[in-house]
A = this chain, B = another copy of it.
Amino acid sequence: MAEVRLQGSEAELENPTLVEGFPGVGLVGKIATDHLIEHLDMRYYASVHCEGLPRIGIYRGGDRTVRPPVRLYVSEAHDLLALRSDAPISAAAVAEVADCLTSWIVEQDATPIYLSGLPADLDDEDSRDLYGIATGNGEEHLETADIAMPPEDGVITGPTGALINSAAREDIDSVGLVVECDPQFPDPRAASVLLEEGIESIADLEVDVQDLVTSAEEIRAKREQLAQQMQAIAQEESSQAKPLRMYQ
């Protein structure tokens, strides 16, 4: 039953970039991708169905349409695909989701950008460092965009880790962006770094991130409330980058 199912007409794309936004630590990938979908007015393109994905219906205020929780959006103008997930992914579903999405990515001739937070001891105002990793020949994109090398060994877990694992196995060209972030709360500031310093250059886009920085203020104001929601995610299979200790 694992499949990506088109919802609407097929898009005309040429070697598109795919931005992946599964929820993980600091929600950095989800915030960045949701922001991209909204600001580029991307079209709902396909729904993702794999064993283990939550069988729930999602709707928006002021809109009657119900949709599955994991969806792909498209912008033909930007040769861009974006993966949005409105629910955390259970550990049991991670392997199949990764295999199923990777097959689809290969069919689309797409270059994926995988997004992950790296928990760090940061103040709200601190800058967030960004590192780039890659599979296949993805490194070229990182060099062009002048993104730093990782300073120490690391491991990417969760659905994002599984996707990168599949990309490494298949030796396809992909890019992984790892950004320092708050380990406990949503970190829109880190998401804006992903967009401004990474995605914009690699996917040749421009997107205003001012409201992400503003929302960082709001998040600071309601930290307690968010803490609970983040814990719920943490109990699922949450994507994150972690330093790899010598004897892990």
Contact = CB atoms under 8 A, between A and B. Distances in A.
A58 B99 CA distance: 18
A155 B56 contact: yes
Interface string A51-85: 10001111111111111110000000000000000
Main secondary structure of the interface of A (DSSP, over half): mixed
B151 A47 contact: no
Query: How many of these chains are in the complex?
Result: 5
A47 B169 contact: yes
A142 interface: yes
A155 B98 contact: no
Given A229-B248, A248-B87, A59 B162 contact: no
A25 interface: no
B7 A171 contact: yes
Given A133-B64, A133-B66, A248-B229, A161 B47 contact: no
Given A27-B247, A55-B165, A59-B156, 8 more contacts: A51-B95, A57-B164, A57-B168, A65-B133, A67-B168, A68-B165, A86-B248, A87-B155
Interface of A: 1, 5, 7, 23, 27, 30-31, 47, 49, 51, 55-69, 86-87, 94-95, 98-99, 132-135, 138-139, 142, 149-157, 161-162, 164-169, 171, 176, 186, 226, 229-230, 232, 244-245, 247-248
